[in-house]
């Protein structure tokens, strides 16, 4: 990492970057309670494909408003439908103590003070950027993958942990940079119906 900083023209900041990244990977994540450095079963940049049988943007919007971000106001989606396939990459999927999680790194700048990364500010950023919709799709993809792999043994309440949004600049803030989107059953089932009968293809 020091060498990369030097090559980028920031040799004086190398030690600060190393210290910051050390904090990021060693801080326990709210939800699983484990740090990134402590994880053993991980899948970085997991690709997924989801069939979009009849995804109505307004219906997905309604589900997200009802079951995420504590009902925070957010921009309205355009009224349109999606048919075909959805393809995406999850930054990190991991398993910890029998539960599976999807994690997305965010570099959003919310302010210069650690207090600028409070739960209220994280929620506002999640809402403004409609990360709630991204989380719903990620959770649906992981839900379908686990259902396919675990079969009859799969129980979302036991196996699916949630979607973690790690705001890297807020690692020293009151929430340690973490906003957790819970896998509410009604949200999972609503998105699953819109996706149609086929499973995800990681």
> Does residue 75 contact residue 128 with C-beta atoms inside 8 Å?
yes
> Does residue 141 contact residue 85 with C-beta atoms inside 8 Å?
no
Taken in order of first residue, the domains within the chain and their CATH numbers are: 32-195 (3.90.320.10)
> Does residue 53 contact residue 191 with C-beta atoms inside 8 Å?
no
The predicted pLDDT at position 14 comes to: 62
> Does residue 193 contact residue 66 with C-beta atoms inside 8 Å?
no
User: Please, what is the average pLDDT of the chain?
Assistant: 87
pLDDT digits (tens, 9 = 90+) for 102-132: 999 999 999 999 999 999 999 999 999 999 9
pLDDT digits (tens, 9 = 90+) for 54-77: 678 888 899 999 999 999 999 988
The predicted pLDDT at position 128 comes to: 97
Mean pLDDT calculated for residue range 33-42:
94
Give the residue among 45, 46, 28 at the shortest CA–CA distance from 37.
Answer: 28
Q: What are phi and psi of 176, to 5 degrees?
A: 55, 30
Neighbour tally for 103: CB within 10 Å: 24
- Does the pLDDT value for residue 93 go beyond 80? yes
pLDDT digits (tens, 9 = 90+) for 133-166: 999 999 999 999 999 999 999 999 999 999 999 9
Q: Which residues are catalytic?
A: 104
């Amino acid at each position: 990492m020091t060498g990369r900083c030097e090559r980028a023209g920031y040799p004086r900041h190398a030690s600060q970057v190393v210290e910051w990244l050390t904090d990021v990977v060693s801080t326990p994540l709210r939800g699983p309670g484990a740090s990134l450095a402590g994880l053993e079963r991980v899948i970085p940049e997991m690709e997924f494909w989801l069939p979009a049988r009849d995804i109505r943007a307004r219906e997905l919007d309604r589900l997200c408003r009802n079951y995420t971000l504590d009902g925070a106001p957010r921009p309205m989606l355009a009224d349109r439908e999606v048919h075909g396939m959805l393809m995406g990459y999850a930054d990190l999927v991991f398993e910890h103590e029998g539960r599976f999680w999807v994690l997305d790194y965010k570099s959003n700048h919310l302010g210069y003070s650690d207090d600028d990364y409070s739960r209220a500010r994280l929620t506002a950023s999640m809402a403004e950027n409609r990360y709630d919709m991204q989380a719903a799709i990620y959770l649906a993809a992981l839900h379908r993958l686990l259902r396919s792999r675990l079969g009859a043994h799969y129980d979302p309440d036991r196996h699916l942990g949630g979607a973690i949004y790690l705001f890297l600049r807020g690692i020293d803030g009151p929430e340690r940079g973490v906003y957790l989107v819970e896998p509410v059953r009604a949200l999972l089932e609503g998105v699953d119906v819109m996706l149609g009968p086929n499973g995800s293809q990681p």
